[in-house]
Chain A
């Protein structure tokens, strides 16, 4: 494997035997459902897997959770807090698992973080260099779902829209519904721009769970040569 940029001091990416598979997509894109199906599929075939996701590090996840409630962090501080959370999981979970030959399933990766920062005005080069510590995944699946469909699924699941997933901190609109649609469009635009550079496999997530899973499985089979 290799790094996007400078990488991590003291960790030789060439010596990692496992595979890193990333699933990206907004809340309501079917990400968690697909991650679970993929995990079952791989374990059924006898592959060992490890799940990682954003805001799950031992180091700073509690603090990030707290900060999310209060909206007390500045833009750069929040970016760096998330980068710390990512780096902690990369070094303490992802890399040890890859070294041991596991398939690491990442529920979101640096792309969501980068898109969120850039939409909020962060400098593009700054963000890219910051995440130059990240490993290049073996496969990135991007579940693309129209904002209207996302709203519907979020309402069906929680009967409410999340403050952050609606980008309310950006002040796009005081109306959460309106803000959600506009924010998700901005994020999708960023993903479209990243698509080629980061080699996303875009999956149309507006379809049924089964047909989306079928497409993901086919990609993973191609990767693993099964």
Chain B
């Protein structure tokens, strides 16, 4: 398992991480459009979207059956399903694979929920490290106001209500996000995150992202062969 992780694959893996409301999904979408329009082989995948695991996850969440450990394991199962069936084969096929959230999301959230960091790192030990991890560092009040501005209906786990921080979902969400933010900061150097200033304009951020991707990878080599 470990030796396979170190072999070079033809594709490239790009992950974005950051708080809800950090703007990372918008930026990843714009990156995807840019790469596609240049005729590159691109694949996009997002956290918590495996079809096989979806039913169990929503059942667990609805019935509040999940403990920190089962919450962590069910998300790891979801991730593994997407990883084994899509991410890894596509990397072998020479794709640029874009991940909206990757293992660091689990490290941050599950550690806040009390899971052991050592256990979590081992749990995701099967996953390759991204070739580029972009961390969207958006000031906490900005990220919070983007999510909370419309007073949306926050989901139980999304608001971290299972942590018992506060009976008020909005207050709970704030406290939960703050702790996650600190987990991200603690991982930033060790995990080689490249920080993008999330308080810059959308266009400025996208320019920074495209520049980074262009100088990190030999992009023309990811073109569809038939498109020359």
Contacts and interface: CB of A to CB of B under 8 A. Distances in A.
A14 interface: no
For A72, A84, A133, the residue with the greatest tally of chain B CB atoms inside 10 Å of its CB is A84
A84 B74 contact: yes
B65 A10 contact: no
A76 B53 CA distance: 13
Interface string B104-138: 00000000011110110011011000000000000
Contacts of A58: 63, 65
28 contacts: A7-B116, A9-B113, A10-B68, A10-B114, A58-B63, A59-B59, A59-B65, A59-B66, A60-B74, A62-B55, A62-B56, A63-B56, A75-B84, A77-B80, A77-B81, A79-B80, A80-B80, A81-B53, A84-B74, A87-B67, A88-B65, A91-B67, A91-B70, A123-B125, A125-B122, A129-B123, A130-B122, A133-B69
Contacts of A46: none
B76 to A, nearest CB: 5
A7 B1 CA distance: 24
B205 interface: no
A88 B65 CA distance: 8
Interface residues of B, number: 34
Given A74-B84, A75-B84, 15 more contacts: A8-B68, A58-B65, A60-B74, A63-B53, A76-B83, A80-B80, A84-B73, A87-B67, A87-B70, A88-B70, A91-B69, A123-B2, A123-B126, A126-B122, A129-B125
Contacts of B1: 122-123, 126
Interface of A: 5-10, 58-60, 62-63, 67, 72-77, 79-81, 83-84, 87-88, 91-92, 122-123, 125-126, 129-130, 132-133
Which of A74, A77, A88, A132 counts the most B-chain CB atoms under 10 A from its CB? Answer: A77
Q: Which 4 A-B pairs give the minimum distances between C-beta atoms?
A: A74-B84, A9-B114, A123-B1, A129-B122
Interface in B48-107: 52-53, 55-56, 59-60, 63, 65-70, 73-74, 76-77, 80-81, 83-85
A123 B4 CA distance: 11
Nearest to A133: B69
A61 B40 CA distance: 41
Interface string B176-217: 000000000000000000000000000000000000000000
